[in-house]
Amino acid sequence: MEKITGAEAMMRALENEGVDILFGYPGGSIMPTYDALYDHKKTLNHILVRHEQGAVHAAQGYARVSGKVGCAIVTSGPGATNTITGIADAMIDSTPLVVIAGQVGVAMLGTDAFQEVDVVGVTSPISKWSYQIRRAEDIAWAVARAFYIAKSGRPGPVVLDFAKNAQTGMVEYEPAKADFIRSYDPDPDLNEEEIREAAKMINESVKPFVLVGQGVELGNAREELKAFLEKADMPCGTTFLGLSAIESDHRLNKGILGMHGNLGPNVMTNKCDLLIAVGMRFDDRVTGNLATYAKQAKIIHFDIDRSEFNKNVKVNLSVHGDCKKSLAAVTKLLDKATHTSWIDGFKPYEEKEYQKVIDKALHPTEGPLLMGEVIRKVSEATNNAGIMVTDVGQNQLFACRYFKFTKARSVVTSGGLGTMGFGIPAAIGATFGAPDRTVCLFVGDGGLQMTIQEFGTIMEQGAPVKMILLNNNYLGNVRQWQEMFFSHRYSFTPMLNPNYELIAKGYGIPAKTVVERSELDAAIKEMLATPGPYLLQCAIMEEDNVMPMVPPGANIDEMILEYKSK
């Protein structure tokens, strides 16, 4: 057989896994691999980011909207450590990634060589698998295993620490395939007793309520979820990451769960007689005070990850398995039901929240622009068919509340880790993962500056990211907490901002700033009609607060609808 370098073997192994795009940044210890990449430019499209954190977030955005494994490639030392935030973010949000990091040669390990870091030691706690490739002979096996682990079961990030001698060593390459790992069971068989018991509990329920998480999207179980809900006539609420698992206007979709969710779902969580969680992990921002959370209800938990059962909330029944299979199996055993009076019970809460919060957020008649009205207008201008990408903060919370969804895989946001700076690179990745869709990024002035260097990537690639900068001259979410819980002591949250429009134009990105409400519709139309990227800066009311809100430590049904500053 022909002998090739380990670096060339890596390229062929990636191609064997169906990889066609890499987000990365070259450097010393990964240089042999980048040299091999030079001859694969027609099959492996490499996107040069401006910071390694951006490479991982871009790979996340790509993975979220495409359903494929995102791939990032960086050098050793600081190149590798700059990926840590993205790897941790992907782990907690179950995003399938393979991150390839260069490493010094095996002979230099442990000597504190230039740009040597124990990447495996650092990333093992925040990845599904972290492995150091020390020999060229191990490349095909390691890459096949990495992609299998990243995409199977509950998805997540995998890290390959690629020693330089393994890159330069010679090997007789043979493609490898991984579809089994001893003691790793990513697709567990359904337990028929669990299925029958779940159906029985649902059939006997008078007031069922379903909590929909991102697991439905990850399991491609959108249609199975709808059949499940509709047959038993069960209302549902969604987590932030599960927002596009069901259409926003579906009659059984009652809104968002948790701290900044909707009033109805949170109140009814503590009134239902059966709570059914599907592909979600009972995050603290969803449950509020666990001591009072759904104590009146029996609880069923559907999940592919056994470690989530009874971790935060004690349940009466756990259904272990892929929700695409488990939901379908339970649906077959369900009685056709109607729960009209129970579902109608949501209406008074919906009306109350609309009157006190939503109408004011979407239809102000005077004063500065509000985040809610900007986001809803952008959503409607895309026929509610766009991909919503957010950074973290008020821009994220308002976007999740007021952007609407009609298509699957339309939400790209940092949920569990809450990573400021996530937005711009994730949106870039999303444009490559779904090139036929409109990608709308909502970002605040704080998060924008954390990864503003990726304007260079947008410029070079012509990535058609429609950036809506919601500028309130504050670190808005922290300011809101300081206003509400720290006596208006705005400790280091006001922002002295640069001229963002001028910066965007310096990168060749068309930009416009809107201050007056009368200018907004035309500006949004211009943004969406402009080919390629666009920055629309909106001057937002400085003390625009996200409501409703469950105060920290409060019960989930104790929502503040209105807050009047003292």
Give 127-151 pLDDT, tens digit per residue: 999 999 999 999 999 999 999 999 9
Which pairs from 104-108 meet CB under 8 Å and 24+ separation?
104/29, 104/76, 104/163, 104/164, 105/163, 105/164, 105/165, 106/134, 106/163, 106/165, 106/166, 107/165
Rounded mean pLDDT, 82-105: 98
Give the end of a domain, one of 110, 138, 172. Answer: 172
Percentage of residues in the chain having pLDDT higher than 70: 100
Mean of per-residue pLDDT scores for the chain: 97
Average of per-residue pLDDT across 469-491: 96
The predicted-structure confidence for 153-188, as pLDDT tens digits, reads as follows 999 999 999 999 999 999 999 999 999 999 999 999
Same domain? For 70 and 199 the reply is no
Domain assignment present for 547: no
Query: Is pLDDT at 563 greater than 90 in this prediction?
Result: no
* Domain finish residue from 137, 172, 207: 172
DSSP category for residue 190: P
Same domain, 247 and 115: no
For residue 253, pLDDT over 70 is answered with: yes
Query: Strands 208-212 and 236-238, how do they pair?
Result: parallel
- The verdict on 417 and 386 lying in the same domain is yes
| 93 and 228, same domain (yes or no) | no
Last residue of a domain, one of 138, 172, 206: 172
Is the pLDDT at 331 greater than 70? The verdict is: yes
Q: Does pLDDT of 564 surpass 90?
A: no
State the average pLDDT over residues 321-329: 98
Query: Span 4-8, mean pLDDT?
Result: 98
The model's pLDDT over 380-438, given as tens digits with 9 standing for 90+, comes to 999 999 999 999 999 999 999 999 999 999 999 999 999 999 999 999 999 999 999 99
The Cα–Cα gap between 253 and 212 comes to 10
Please state, for a pLDDT cut of 90, what percent of the chain lies above it.
Answer: 99
Q: Does 445 share its domain with 529?
A: yes
With 70 as the cut, is the pLDDT of residue 348 above it?
yes
Neighbour-count burial for 466-489, b at 16+ CB within 10 Å, e otherwise: bbbbbbbbbbbbbbbebbbeeeee
Q: Which tokens sit at 212?
A: 């929909």
Find the domain containing 294 and state its range: 192-347
Examine the pLDDT at 46 and tell me if it is beyond 80.
yes
Q: Are residues 202 and 62 in the same domain?
A: no
Residues 214 and 335 grouped into a single domain: yes
CA distance 212 to 231: 16
Distance CA 178, CA 270 (A): 45
Cβ atoms 38, 13 nearer than 8 A: no
Is pLDDT at 299 greater than 70 in this prediction? yes
Residues 138 and 284 in one domain: no
- Distance, in Å, from the CA atom of 378 to the CA atom of 386, rounded to the nearest integer, reads 9
Whether residue 553 is contained in a domain is answered as no
At 1, is the pLDDT very low, low, confident or very high (cuts 50, 70, 90)?
Answer: confident
How many structural domains are present in the chain?
A: 3
Instruction: Tell me whether residue 470 is in a domain.
Output: yes
Domain assignment present for residue 558? The answer is no
352, part of any domain: no
Instruction: Tell me: do 20 and 119 sit in the same domain.
Output: yes
Residue 182, domain member (yes or no): no
Reply yes or no on whether the pLDDT at 196 is more than 80. yes
Domain with residue 449: its CATH number is 3.40.50.970
pLDDT at residue 566 is higher than 70: no
Answer yes or no: do 162 and 236 share one domain.
no
Does any domain span residue 213?
A: yes
- What's the CATH number where 307 sits? 3.40.50.1220
What is the mean predicted confidence (pLDDT) over 303-325? 97
Task: Say yes or no: 232 and 93 in one domain.
Answer: no
What's the whole-model pTM score? 0.97
Tell me: the pLDDT tens digits for 431-477? 999 999 999 999 999 999 999 999 999 999 999 999 999 999 999 99
Contact 461, 429 (CB under 8 A): no
DSSP 355: I
Domain identity same for 155 and 20: yes
Could you tell me if residue 563 is inside a domain?
no
